Amino acid sequence: MAENGLASGQTGDERFQALLSNASAARVISQAVEGTIGPKGLDIMMVDKFGDVVISNDGVTILKLMEVKHPVARMIINTARAQQSQVGDGTTTATIIAGALVTEGAEQVIKGVPVTRVIEGITIGVNAALNLIKQQSRNINSLEDKLLYNIAEIAGRGHKDLARLVIKGAQLVGIQRLKDRDYKFADAVVARELSSSQVFRGVLLNKQAVNKDMPLTLEKPLIMVVDDALSPEEIEREALKNESGFQYYLQAREKYEENLRKICRLGVKMVVVDRGIDDIAEEIFTEAGVMVLHRVSSREIERLCKHSGAKKIKRHSLNRDTETLKSYMGRAKLVKIDEKLEHTCVYDGGGENWTTVLIGASTEEVVDERERMARDAASAVQAAVQSGVVPGGGAIEVWLAAHMEDVARDVEGMTSFGVLCVKEALIKPFSCLVSNAGFNPLEKLGDVVVAQRKNGSDSITLDSEKGKLIDVMKSGIVDPALVKIHALKAAGEVAVAILRINTIIKMKEDAGNTENVDIWE
């Protein structure tokens, strides 16, 4: 090995060391979630160093909690996280396809295909597949479409109660809001231990009143949101040591108390504070029958402002006249505190429409899992509304794979081998699904390919329950096109990025010192 840490006079095997290492890492990450895909997929148990256990078959949850050291493994995990962030579903599919693309690409390079040709072919194949998905998608024009319930049930791991709640919530939100790219329906889903499941027009704040003497229920209240601490202006201790400073402090305190009473005279019955409140404010508001919630999260405050129509106000702005302060107020038909669950519901605000899907859970252990499943269902429903649906059950992937052969024939030279990598990667999710159902993937793949060609259909696949071929469009088994598009696009991008890596070098702790670097192993 040369003094600078880079190998000189590499043999053929040494040249592929980084590629083989990367392909191995990608394969390991893919295998970690392959057993969870499909209706017959099983759960993964993860154990930390303290013996605490998490059981889940949610792809992104498994990947987030996995202990990984290889940089390529982290790249694929970040891709799954991006998939979750963008569309909220399809993380397992994205991971499996990415792993397969890297593995197939590495095999082609080892056989002698130049890596640049493999990358070029993968890019061509992925783009062709994306265009085909868009062409094959079927639009959803109504929230009453039964396919939406099926999508919610599939994404919600078969939980019918969650699917019903999500669809009810979608109907309250409305189709135009769901099509808004800036709105995330999954954010409307909240799970609470021991709570009763319900869907309502309003927001949930994970706080209750500052003390028990404040009202628990308010009808048609005016709402003020203070994006600040509710306390007198802070005076430096040194300033209090002289007469003028002390007098200023007394005047500021008096003005502060007057502002609090002014809020009460305005008819405000609910005050929500970003930070804490002092004893003076608590006493005055309690006497006036005002409900005060403090240390409310910024995310919940944003939702409350949008739904109630309130504008956030700073502490010093309370000095303004009453007419100006009125313009900051929000409204709601009803506010109710649940003491048992320690949260507050604000119903039917005077601002933007906001729907909350409250998911009940019997124990603490299942709260997070039920919330994840419901959020996946909500994301899938919104994705279907935005981009339409394609056949599920692995049917569309098998159909796309068959078309990759046509694309490969139209490509000149060794680039076609890269296109065929896309073909093999597209088949991988179907093969895992069939294997998890207890059938032979090669046999069933052949049956599906023949049936699709014979019938000129993209919707024929295997029934995981009976092992027979079915038309999933007729059976209502569909997936959001947007989920497939993002999964394939993300997988293609990360696979190309990984295959482009020629050498992996471990940086020293002093990253600025470039001497004596070692090859990463």
Q: Is residue 20 part of a domain?
A: yes
| 331: its two tokens | 């409204």
State the pLDDT at residue 307. Answer: 95
| 213: its two tokens | 């003497």
At 35-65, the pLDDT tens digits run: 888 778 877 787 877 777 777 777 777 877 7
CB atoms within 10 A of CB 145: 18
CATH code at position 472: 1.10.560.10
DSSP 138: B
CATH code at position 313: 3.50.7.10
| 326: its two tokens | 């009125």
* Domain span at 474: 12-138+390-519
Q: Is residue 451 part of a domain?
A: yes
Q: How buried is 288 (Cβ within 10 angstroms: 0-12 exposed, 13-18 middle, 19+ buried)?
A: middle
At 78-89, the pLDDT tens digits run: 888 888 777 777
Task: Look at 506 and 150; give whichever has higher pLDDT.
Answer: 150
Distance of CA 161 to the CA centre of its chain: 21
Whether residues 214 and 343 share a domain: the answer is: yes
Whether residues 322 and 403 share a domain: the answer is: no
Q: Is residue 6 part of a domain?
A: no
State the pLDDT at residue 34. Answer: 85
State the pLDDT at residue 369. Answer: 83
Whether residues 515 and 434 share a domain: the answer is: yes
CATH code at position 369: 3.30.260
Whether 240 shows a pLDDT value over 60: the answer reads no
pLDDT band at 113 (very low <50, low <70, confident <90, very high): very high
Which secondary structure element, helix H or strand E, spans residue 365, and what is its range? helix 364-387
Whether residues 120 and 164 share a domain: the answer is: no
Q: Single out the residue of 153, 105, 66 nearest to residue 419, CA to CA.
A: 105
Gyration radius from the chain CA atoms: 29
CB atoms within 10 A of CB 108: 22
Whether residues 349 and 215 share a domain: the answer is: yes
Tell me the backbone φ, ψ of residue 112, rounded to 5 degrees: 120, 0
Phi-psi region of 116 (alpha: psi -120 to 50; beta: other; left: phi over 0): alpha
- Name the β-bridge partners of 505: 519
Whether residues 41 and 89 share a domain: the answer is: yes
Whether residues 129 and 34 share a domain: the answer is: yes
Q: Is residue 444 part of a domain?
A: yes
Is pTM, for the whole model, over 0.95?
no
Q: Which of 208-212, 336-340, 362-366, 405-409 has the lowest mean pLDDT?
A: 362-366
Q: Single out the residue of 189, 519, 232, 207 nearest to residue 368, CA to CA.
A: 189
| 504: its two tokens | 């992996």
Q: How many helices (H) and strands (E) does the chain have?
A: 19, 18
Mean pLDDT confidence for 157-179: 93
Structurally, the chain folds into a number of domains equal to: 3
Contact 215, 306 (CB under 8 A): no
Task: Look at 236 and 66; give whichever has higher pLDDT.
Answer: 66
In the chain, the amino acid numbered 303 is R
Whether residues 222 and 188 share a domain: the answer is: no
Q: How buried is 46 (Cβ within 10 angstroms: 0-12 exposed, 13-18 middle, 19+ buried)?
A: middle
Cα–Cα dist 338/513, whole Å: 59
Whether residues 333 and 212 share a domain: the answer is: yes
Whether 519 shows a pLDDT value over 60: the answer reads no
Q: Is residue 130 part of a domain?
A: yes
Place of tokens 């906001």: 354
Q: How buried is 131 (Cβ within 10 angstroms: 0-12 exposed, 13-18 middle, 19+ buried)?
A: exposed
Expressed in angstroms, the distance from the first to the final Cα of the chain is: 14
Q: Single out the residue of 139, 40, 131 nearest to residue 390, CA to CA.
A: 139
Cα–Cα dist 352/202, whole Å: 10
Q: Is residue 491 part of a domain?
A: yes
Q: Is residue 3 part of a domain?
A: no
C-alpha to C-alpha distances, 147 to 66, 188, 375, nearest whole angstrom: 34, 21, 18
State the pLDDT at residue 17. Answer: 80
Contact 37, 94 (CB under 8 A): no
Whether residues 218 and 311 share a domain: the answer is: yes
State the pLDDT at residue 3. Answer: 36
- Cβ neighbours for 126, distance < 8 A, ≥ 6 positions apart: 422, 488, 489, 491, 492
Whether residues 411 and 477 share a domain: the answer is: yes
At 26-37, the pLDDT tens digits run: 888 888 888 888
Cα–Cα dist 12/10, whole Å: 7
Q: Is residue 5 part of a domain?
A: no
Whether residues 152 and 129 share a domain: the answer is: no
